[in-house]
A = this chain, B = another copy of it.
Amino acid sequence: MSARSAALPIDGRRFLIVGGASLVGSTTADLLLARGAGRVVLFDNFSFGSRDAVRHLVDDQRVTIVSGDVMRLPDLLAATEGVDGVLHLAAMMTISMDRDPWAGLDVNVRGAQNVIEACVVRGVGKLVFASSNAVYGYGPGVAGDLVEDTPFHAAGAPPAAILYGASKIVGEQLCRQAHQKRGLDYVVLRYSTVYGERQHYRAANALYIVETHDRIKAGLRPRVIGDGAETKHFVYVGDLARANAMAFEADASDVAVNVSGPEPVTTLQLVELVCELTGTSLRPEHVAPEAGKVRLTSGGAFRIDHAAAERAIGWRPEVGMREGLRRLLAWRDQAGAPAAAAE
């Protein structure tokens, strides 16, 4: 530990959330405000972000919503002025990387560079960078306990998935390089698949939850692609928001840790859990993969270990899959499931 602390307390401080009009961004903003943040700036270009996600925040005098783009460094230089901590969430995921690799690499690579540049130039106290378990890759090589030095397995995975994972590896290393050369304090959090209230239709893995729920509500049998035996490891958005806050608060810097829920599930278990929570008598049906649609499957059973996060920032997940799903389904029933976003 260096003599200078990398801890950034929340109370009274000013935070910028890049990609703030999102599931993770809005939930983290709620938490930062509840913990006494002096200001929270939500920066988004609203291409995927949604005004709905932040509508409940606009009456808080401490909240500012800025329409800007990570591809425009001046937007970020303006938004980081006087800011103590930055949470960088803006990214394209695998489905977008499949549709438009130019935009995807722009946002995930150049966007990360611009955010880091703004943080360094403005002397931001700490950057929390949202990475992904995609840095461990895909396929049968991804098996057992995934710890932070697990290599990136790519053989046989769809190009868009590999591009996404590689772009997150690049982002992490840009943070490390900025720490080594320019003194930027940062924590990388490798999110596993996020789910929770305000769930959208953009994450390939979380689609199973919302699509299963949609089908049950329409009186249709939920679908499982293949045998559903492959592992998925989710994290509840409220737990993730705590991890973001704790990454600021902890005296940790220059570190990358997993943030994952208590335990993994299989796809089939997940679909059955949704069935059980809705009380439906509909049973899942197994279907063949659709040609041309990016779905990620893995051969091996794996578990994303989160012990390092506890050591680095004192975090561990609190909400299990059943309780998290119950909250998500309750929100969807109450809010009305949103129309599928045209990502």
Contacts and interface: CB of A to CB of B under 8 A. Distances in A.
Given A109-B105, A110-B105, A151-B152, A166 B169 contact: yes
A309 to B, nearest CB: 17
A155 interface: yes
A163 B173 contact: yes
A152 B176 CA distance: 18
Interface string A131-154: 000000100010000001101111
A151 B137 contact: yes
B159 A180 contact: yes
One complex includes copies of this chain to the number of 2
Looking at A160, A162, A163, A170, the one whose CB has the most chain B CB atoms below 10 A away is A170
A174 interface: yes
A101 B152 CA distance: 21
11 contacts: A101-B113, A105-B170, A141-B149, A149-B156, A152-B152, A154-B169, A159-B176, A163-B170, A166-B170, A166-B173, A170-B170
Interface of A: 98, 101-102, 105, 109-110, 113, 137, 141, 148-149, 151-156, 159-160, 162-163, 166-167, 169-170, 173-174, 176-177, 180
6 tightest Cβ-Cβ pairs between the two chains A and B? A149-B155, A159-B177, A151-B151, A152-B152, A159-B173, A159-B176
